Structure 1
């Protein structure tokens, strides 16, 4: 055991050493800081795909952090296991006086953190957590009566009215790097030792393309071009600071800033309406809808063989790359829930498996928006027409030709369902439930 008391900085969704709230507080605590990351078996054991690129992304981010720490004589302490068991071991190896970490709003994370806090406090230590992955959280932006917003537009207005330089200020962690515990370098576990394989494809850059952001309002809905930032995975795992991004991008394009506000909005909804984290509809009456849930049709949707080229292009892009353009995400989600009348939770779970930038709050919010069951959702009678969406956002069929090159050939399947019939059926099923 190390002889002197230490503070542990527990990294999770904040894989960077710069402008990190909990790390700043740890480094200024007066204790030597041990940087810890846990490859959590409660999460990894449930991943069916052993080439899951999210694990590879995390591993690569940790290697970058390790390189920075080695230069100042410290090291990452990376463990693999169940958090409770890992902390039991850490308490044997270090005199842990304090643990610092950043908030995670997802249901499992809340349970995990409560268990670890109890272990630390039971051993005479203290557990400290901070806001880091959003600009405003929980009850920081509320209505005049103190209740949380459930509609985005007034929330965004209050969000912007509340914002000032304080909320975008960076935490100057670099000034205090000398507080990291000096240790002999520890080797990080390999991907192979974790049971995962390296795909070795490049990840999206974390550099902000300012010219792209300036054009964002005009180009963001066109899936055939690089009109979006692709920063989602970096926000998901905290390899970039939301404060820096909002500060830089917000000055360039308000539409882009609004997308960051949507992210805060969905995290706020998850924190204030915990039922959405338990598989329930935000609007309870939508849990009574009689979904068809045809497994064969769901499989065709997953594979991208529905006979609707824009839908199939999106699903094939997702399956091949772990990314899907946001406009197309709305189209494929509307198609699954309204054309096929398949429970939005099926689609939510499939995206959770496949998306490199998967974020529970945003994924849940997006799916419930498409299904009509969420806060500020599209009304149930709004059914996206895939043909009109194609004419509007992929008129030259560039995106479709990239992902569904055979769509004009005889081998391409006929539409799984006829649009007008599907729309009529959807309205009948929804209205039968919602007008009781």
Structure 2
């Protein structure tokens, strides 16, 4: 039998440094074969020019090149169903242990459970590590062990717990000599995976001291574009949450820090309540009689509702794969409250379009605007899409960029009257909830 190896399975942690699972694999007694699987269970549901697939592929090529140039090694890249790939790997290699980092989404938990059983049948260990968050699962809970359902007490407990830990950065780079010496491991082009290069690009993140210091004062104004753009990089692990948190602490900015905690709040909610991916957290909200009007939904998707700030957000999303967070709340509320359409429709559209799509945050925030989630906005809170312009885009800079036609005769009439839509929403919610 060939020499034993350990495998490290890259997933949502596409970086060579400060990667706990990767470091633990490299510290073992056997050389490490790094792998990545383009999972067809996920790929088959994506558009063929998906910017996220391009980003993952490009990131992996840079990582491969680094390992080839400096360590005579590489990353083996596969496409298929993970169990089929592992069955082949078991035939091709004498595997001692498979290492990977935790993934908290329902599909990932099921997938990892199946892989664990498969490996156990061949006397191979599966070891997994916490790398994607600072605190996970039940590490920040109430005294009775129940999960927090409201953000503010969770955030306080999170910070309290954080004082008791030493935030360690893992210098994984210093262990890379324990990779297998093979720079010709299997590789795939985007075409091999069945995709084309996206014209949209995931932009670099911006966490300069200036951005963090000014974050509180500028983050609500979409024209300023002063958000960090960290979302996709945290989603795919091209940056370490530990390093980002250290930056927030160094600049002593509570608001920026708390945005990182919001992310962990939603991740632990999804872990405790996996049914919330497609069911309201508050069961009585399942009684709401949502409308479905295909024409109106299409106009919402295309940014042709006749409400300029809503349309600006949707056009920005469609063109760039990004939408400012303040505007996300507005367009979400507009779909659920003004058009009285099911939050799941909006969640699915965002899942397809957003570069920073993370299931936990997307589901959490859509349920928040619909009023049916944990710590949600009350159902009678209905944003006025016109007065929001005065609050957040007074000089119309954002509107002029994304809806240059908003003052033209060709600009669409509002598809719904604000006052009538508000009354319809309130009466529909009331009759369902009372």
> TM (normalized to structure 2)?
0.98
Residue 20 of structure 2 is aligned to residue 55 of structure 1: no
How many residue pairs match? The answer is 432
Partner of 2:78: 79
- The C-alpha deviation readout for 1:242-301, integer Å capped at 9, x for no partner, is 011011123321101111000000000011112113x10010111110001211111100
Q: Is the 8 A contact 2:20 2:131 kept in 1?
A: yes
- What is the 5 A alignment of 1:121-140? 121-140=120-139
Q: Is the 8 A contact 1:307 1:416 kept in 2?
A: yes
> TM (normalized to structure 1)?
0.97
- What is the 5 A alignment of 1:309-320? 309-320=308-319
Residue 263 of structure 2 is aligned to residue 263 of structure 1: yes
CA distance in 1, matches of 2:400, 2:205: 28
What displacement does 1:185 show?
Answer: 2.1
CA distance in 1, matches of 2:3, 2:282: 53
Partner of 2:145: 146
Q: Is the 8 A contact 2:8 2:34 kept in 1?
A: yes
Q: Is the 8 A contact 2:52 2:202 kept in 1?
A: no
CA distance in 2, matches of 1:417, 1:171: 54
What displacement does 1:97 show?
Answer: 1.1
What displacement does 1:424 show?
Answer: 0.9
What displacement does 1:146 show?
Answer: 1.4
CA distance in 2, matches of 1:411, 1:250: 49
CA distance in 2, matches of 1:225, 1:310: 15
Partner of 1:307: 306
After TM superposition, what 4+ stretches of structure 1 lie above 4 angstroms from structure 2?
A: none
What displacement does 1:184 show?
Answer: 3.5
Runs (5+) with no aligned partner, structure 1? none
Partner of 2:427: 428
Q: Secondary structure at the match of 1:128?
A: strand
What displacement does 1:350 show?
Answer: 0.2
Q: Is the 8 A contact 1:307 1:412 kept in 2?
A: yes
Partner of 1:276: 276
CA distance in 2, matches of 1:389, 1:107: 36
Q: Is the 8 A contact 2:9 2:99 kept in 1?
A: yes
CA distance in 2, matches of 1:97, 1:77: 17
- What is the 5 A alignment of 1:154-233? 154-164=153-163, 166=165, 168-186=167-185, 188-199=187-198, 201-206=200-205, 208-233=207-232
What displacement does 1:218 show?
Answer: 0.4
- What is the 5 A alignment of 1:38-49? 38-47=37-46, 49=47
Q: Is the 8 A contact 1:39 1:81 kept in 2?
A: yes
Q: Is the 8 A contact 1:306 1:415 kept in 2?
A: yes
